[in-house]
Amino acid sequence: MEGGESSTGTANQWHQERIQLWLANNVSKRQEEYVRWNDLSVFCGSWNVNNKKPPTAAEMAPWLLPSSPSNNQPDVYVVGLQEVDLTVAGVLTQQTDKALPWLETVEATINSSGTKFLPLSHRQLAGIMVGVWVRESLFPLCSAPHTLDVATGILGMLGNKGGVALSFRIQCSTVCVVCAHLAADIAQVVRRNQDFNDIIKRMRFPVPDQIHSHSGVLSQKSSIDGKFGVYDHDYVFWVGDLNYRLTTTDYQFVHGQIAAAKNAEDPIEGFKELMKHDQLQIQRDNGEVFPHFNECPIAFPPTYKFVPDTQEYVAEAQDKPRIPAWCDRVLYRVKDASAGSVTPHKYSWHPELTISDHKPVSLTLTARTKDIDHSKYQQILREIARDLDRLENEYMPDASISTNALSYGAVAFGDTVRRSFVLTNTGVVPVQYSFKPAPGAASTLPFWITAPAPTGVIMPSSEAVIELNFQTSPRDLEALNAGPEELETVVILHLHQSKDHFLTLSARWRRTVFGVSLTTPTLPKPLWVLADALYQHGAAAAGSLLEGPIPDDLVLIRDSLTELGTVTVGREPGDLDTAYISSVADAFFVYLDCIGPAVVPEELFPAIMAASTESDMRAIPAGLPHAHYLVFIYVMSFVRYMISFEPDDHFVKGAATLLARVICRKPSRASVTQSELRSAAKFVEFFLRS
């Protein structure tokens, strides 16, 4: 009886969702009949503050307040900061109290002219922070915001790089503001691109209030998985230290171009030659990042790298040779013409603020926001609802599928193989789909398949591209390595009130050196090879321990270790570039994370949590199986050597926290709380300092 009631309830819920989306889709086609447009002025600012304390409100005024009293302040302030906290402790815990003084100073500055602004919300990830303030008179028109962060550092968990975002609605327009700090170094273009794409992919907000009834149809992806992505918003304002550099390394050429542009009658034209070398512009032109975003022409000098407390660029002989670059940027995106439009006003830098090695930037603009004539809206809604009633009485859902089989070929740990099929609504009413378990199956999809959009609604005469991607994590390796080489399964695509479709998924599993069990009393060769490559680079490798990898490098290292027993791949062992060293460091930690059972077996996790004395801690490795003990001692000795190049206390604690995540695991890889992680890190730190 309960099962029948549950099934009926689910069917009714799906039916209601389908109706709402169909109505929203059709009502939105007539939005000009019920939408009123209003102008909203917005300030978007970004500053990498280089771990400095905030200046006074008076010193911040040239950045945040209009240059002339005759110019009005904006309606909304979007302020993004980077490197608010550079300590390793802040990066690893992703928590810091250093943002509070900056938030207070920003608020004091924007309120100093007499106009009252209220904080809507803010979000912080270690040193990356974004805040939004709204004019008091407009504050009641804003919805409660949702906030998210995405860390893109090593193992996808460190907050030294990544993005933070707020999603909210003002009147009936949806807004997403993002502040990002992408990978540094001139050579890290691929990593920066990957950081951007990871942020876009992983930021999935709840659907804003009233979006179904007031803002029209959701994008396909949003309507499919019940979440609201960055691109689903009417407006996206993206600020940050994006770290894209100039492709030229000719220091004299760059400075000559800057000097000439400063004296040019048209600064935009003056900087045009130098902008040809701008990595961000090149990557955008190639379609790699920021699709359909806009950036105003740049009419100001590069914002990095300056001697702090001056307006002078770092000289060629000082520090490392630093070519000036436009690291700090502001871009914006409008979903489509029905969402509104943006009129940019002024895109500029603010060289008067000198405490950092970056200069802040700002963009002022006007966006058109939507308001609803509710009586007209309800009239149109009633008309369309009558049409829907007629159609539902006459027609049943119907859809076709483009294929009944997806093959992934040879796959291994670390691979992401994307496959998709097209589901087309061939009927005249919306189609609701989902996956359901095949007979005898425990779940709707095999554990080696991920579906970004496992449920959804497709409008009449529309189609959805549904992805089923091969992707594995360390937790999957034991089952895959112990199972058959040929992977094959059948999944069922269920169409509500229509026929099911069956898809065959097949792949060939390729075992690699990742996912070993410690069964023999010898050190695993891949672990030694990874450590040796880092050992040969000493201080450079130590500095790379907490950086993130380049994704393609990890696959290259995996295959090189498996097939050749090396990680150098045509390079001299002592001559690896910085980026590749970072990837080797990441592979070292990933290799440890894939060992199953863990280096410190899962059943000892409670003992780690209870250990409070030196004798308690020493008793834990003393009781390990010999193979596990050998790896434990080797890893501790190696990491202890590496941190000798970076003896800073925060760095040691950071390395201990990172190592604790991969060698100390709870049974079944259950989630670890911050308190448990601190206890595990304390245990590891004891041996790193012993």
Check pLDDT > 80 for residue 643. yes
Q: What are the φ and ψ backbone dihedral angles of 615, each rounded to 5 degrees?
A: -70, -35
Q: Which of 603, 608, 607, 653 is nearest to 625 (CA)?
A: 603
Cβ contacts of 67-75, under 8 Å, gap ≥ 24: 72/41, 73/43, 73/110, 73/113, 73/115, 73/117, 73/135, 74/41, 74/42, 74/43, 74/135, 74/364, 75/40, 75/41, 75/42, 75/134, 75/135, 75/138
In angstroms, the CA 378 to CA 403 distance is 41
Check pLDDT > 50 for residue 214. no
Strand partners, 229: 204
Tokens 């898809």 correspond to what residue?
A: 503
- Over residues 48-58, the mean pLDDT reads 94
Q: Give DSSP secondary structure letters for 445-473.
A: S-TTEE-S-SEEEE-TT-EEEEE-EEE--
How do the residues of the chain divide into helix, strand and coil, expressed in percent and rounded to 5?
A: 40, 25, 35
pLDDT digits over 459-513, tens only?
Answer: 888 899 999 999 998 989 989 999 999 999 999 999 988 889 999 999 999 999 9
In angstroms, the CA 140 to CA 508 distance is 56
Q: Which amino acid is at 644?
A: S
SS3 of 430, please? coil
Adjacency order of strands within the sheet including 416-417: 416-417, 469-471, 449-450
Return the percentage of the chain with pLDDT > 90, whole number.
Answer: 59
- Over residues 317-340, the mean pLDDT reads 85
Which helix or strand (DSSP H or E) is residue 312 part of? none
In angstroms, the CA 91 to CA 85 distance is 8
Q: Give DSSP secondary structure letters for 612-623.
A: -SHHHHHHHHHT
In angstroms, the CA 355 to CA 171 distance is 38
Give the confidence band of 13 by pLDDT, cuts at 50, 70, 90: low
CA distances to 27, 220, 429, 433 from 20, rounded to whole Å, are 10, 14, 12, 15
> How high does pLDDT run on average in the chain?
86
Q: What is the pLDDT of residue 219?
A: 36
- Report which DSSP code applies to 257: H
pLDDT digits over 658-685, tens only?
Answer: 899 999 999 888 888 888 998 999 999 9
- Over residues 308-329, the mean pLDDT reads 84
pLDDT digits over 566-607, tens only?
Answer: 886 555 555 566 667 888 888 999 999 999 899 999 999 999
Q: What is the pLDDT of residue 12?
A: 55
Higher pLDDT, residue 649 or 519: 519
Q: What is the pLDDT of residue 2?
A: 36
Give the confidence band of 440 by pLDDT, cuts at 50, 70, 90: confident
Structure token digits, residue 388: 């829907």
In angstroms, the CA 582 to CA 530 distance is 11
Check pLDDT > 50 for residue 202. yes
- Over residues 298-308, the mean pLDDT reads 96
Q: What are the φ and ψ backbone dihedral angles of 465, each rounded to 5 degrees?
A: -90, 110
Residues 6 or more apart whose Cβ sits within 8 Å of residue 465: 220, 420, 421, 422
- Report which DSSP code applies to 374: H
Q: What is the pLDDT of residue 402?
A: 96
How many CA atoms lie less than 13 Å away from 111 in the CB half-sphere?
Answer: 14
Q: What is the pLDDT of residue 186?
A: 84
pLDDT digits over 453-467, tens only?
Answer: 888 888 888 899 999
pLDDT digits over 127-138, tens only?
Answer: 899 999 999 999
Sign of the dihedral through C-alpha 33, 34, 37, 43: negative
How many Cβ atoms from other residues are within 10 Å of residue 467's Cβ? 17
- Over residues 334-357, the mean pLDDT reads 94
Give the confidence band of 339 by pLDDT, cuts at 50, 70, 90: confident
Check pLDDT > 70 for residue 87. no
In angstroms, the CA 157 to CA 195 distance is 12
Alpha helices in 352-495 (DSSP H): 374-394, 477-482
